[in-house]
Amino acid sequence: MRAGLPVPFTLPVVGSAGVRPTDLLAGAGEFAVIASLLARLPSSPDVVVGPGDDAAVLRLPTPSVVASTDVLVDGVHLRRDWFDGADVGHKAAAVNMADIAAMGARPVALLVGLVAPADLTLGWLTSFTDGLRDAGAPLGCTVVGGDTVAGDVLTVAVTALGVLDGPVVTRAGARPGDVLAVCGRLGWAAAGLAVLQRGFRSPRLLVDAQRRPQPPYAAGPQAAALGATALIDVSDGLVADVGHLAQASGVRIVVDSGRLEPDPPLAEMGRALGVDPLRWVLGGGEDHALAATFPAGTALGPDWLVLGEVREGDGVVVEGVDPDVVGSGGYEHFGRGTVSG
């Protein structure tokens, strides 16, 4: 991580005598903190020059590099009373790596920018680093650099870099006659958010789906290999993101809600909270499932669920469900609501 704005702290590296994991960053030295965090991060064969220099150098097997950036802000995408450091690190990595997968690529490296309030603890920061590391480890994706600065609001900006082993798949290739299919969970993270907003921390499997999403990363390159004509990460909600795909492709996409049977944990929580779980399935996006269109007759395998078809026209139509359940179709910044409720 390259040095950012000066931070007026001086304290030994975490782990030195007299330094506790709960010590505040307001008493720590920027470079000492960075050094201790870098010691927690692995390298990979793709990294020629890693963190600690002015920039990273990667050895990539393809001339095409896929890049994506997301920003997480305390009070908008997360709350520190709901998310610990490892949760934030995991989520920051996952949302970016899902965008790489949504191009049919595989993520290989992360660049991380962190705005850290002075009341943040060293223990929180090391936990955050571990969350980044552990989220990327199964994919061989590691942190190769970034920046840290002091600021009033916890903000995490991650740039993910990926490579293509096959064709790139964009949002713009869906054609009339294609089928729409999805891989991954739908509605779990939204149900977990509903639980947190009501002041509860269980059931853990739903709350953890909000804190630490598990996107189906391998499904992106798999979709490309299967001949997907269009592909998108369901980050804002199924209806909203399928709408983005339809708009980019200049087509109408019809979703059959009868094929969207909510998973048992969603159905149970819906009954407990008096919410139709289809609302979460159709409008909740933070599970980062992948939605794709394929030529009709493509053998997709068991991980993909066919939900509808592509037709002439424009927009998205959800058949078999009350429009009130569909709602506005997903989350929109500068529109309505935040994670803080």
**Residue 13, pLDDT score:** 35
Spatial distance between the Cα atoms of 2 and 238, rounded to a whole number of angstroms: 38
User: How confident is residue 322, by pLDDT bands cut at 50, 70 and 90?
Assistant: confident
Tell me how far the alpha carbon of residue 261 is from its chain's centroid: 24
Using one digit for the tens of pLDDT, what is the confidence trace for 117-137? 988 998 999 999 999 999 999
**Residue 4, pLDDT score:** 33
User: How confident is residue 24, by pLDDT bands cut at 50, 70 and 90?
Assistant: low
Closest among 167, 157, 158, 162 to 139, alpha carbons compared: 162
User: How confident is residue 34, by pLDDT bands cut at 50, 70 and 90?
Assistant: low
In the predicted structure, residue 33 carries a pLDDT above the cut 70: no
DSSP 164-193: -SS----SS---TT-EEEEES--SHHHHHH
Using one digit for the tens of pLDDT, what is the confidence trace for 210-245? 999 999 999 999 999 999 999 999 999 999 999 999
**Residue 7, pLDDT score:** 32
Using one digit for the tens of pLDDT, what is the confidence trace for 42-99? 667 777 666 666 666 777 777 789 999 999 999 988 999 999 999 999 999 999 999 9
Average pLDDT, the chain: 86
Q: How many CA atoms lie within 13 A of 68 on its CB side?
A: 22
More confident residue, 114 or 322: 114
Q: Which residues pair with 143 in a beta bridge?
A: 110
Domains in the chain with CATH codes: 2-163 (3.30.1330.10), 179-326 (3.90.650.10)
Spatial distance between the Cα atoms of 164 and 179, rounded to a whole number of angstroms: 24
Spatial distance between the Cα atoms of 196 and 136, rounded to a whole number of angstroms: 26
Spatial distance between the Cα atoms of 207 and 87, rounded to a whole number of angstroms: 11
Q: Tokens representing 253?
A: 């996409």
The proportion of the chain whose per-residue pLDDT surpasses 90, expressed as a percent, equals 70
Q: Which helix (H) or strand (E) holds 91?
A: helix 85-101
**Residue 213, pLDDT score:** 96
In the predicted structure, residue 328 carries a pLDDT above the cut 90: no
Locate tokens 């979703």: which residue?
255
The proportion of the chain whose per-residue pLDDT surpasses 70, expressed as a percent, equals 81
In the predicted structure, residue 184 carries a pLDDT above the cut 80: yes
Backbone angles phi, psi at 74, to 5 degrees: -60, 130
Using one digit for the tens of pLDDT, what is the confidence trace for 264-317? 999 999 999 999 999 999 999 899 999 999 999 999 999 999 999 999 999 999
**Residue 203, pLDDT score:** 94
Q: Tokens representing 177?
A: 């006659």
> What Cα–Cα distance (Å) separates residue 152 from each residue in 118, 247, 274, 331?
8, 38, 38, 25
Three-class DSSP category at 328: coil
In the predicted structure, residue 333 carries a pLDDT above the cut 50: no
Sheet architecture: strand order including 230-234: 230-234, 289-294, 179-183, 305-311, 252-256, 315-319
Instruction: Give the number of other Cβ atoms within 10 Å of residue 307's Cβ.
Output: 22
**Residue 268, pLDDT score:** 97
> What Cα–Cα distance (Å) separates residue 322 from each residue in 129, 194, 319?
44, 21, 9
> What Cα–Cα distance (Å) separates residue 193 from each residue in 47, 203, 285, 341?
37, 11, 11, 9
In the predicted structure, residue 18 carries a pLDDT above the cut 90: no
What contacts 193, CB < 8 A, 6 or more positions away? 210, 284, 286, 339
Per-residue pLDDT, averaged over 146-156, amounts to 93
**Helix, strand and coil in the chain, % to nearest 5:** 30, 25, 45
pTM: 0.83
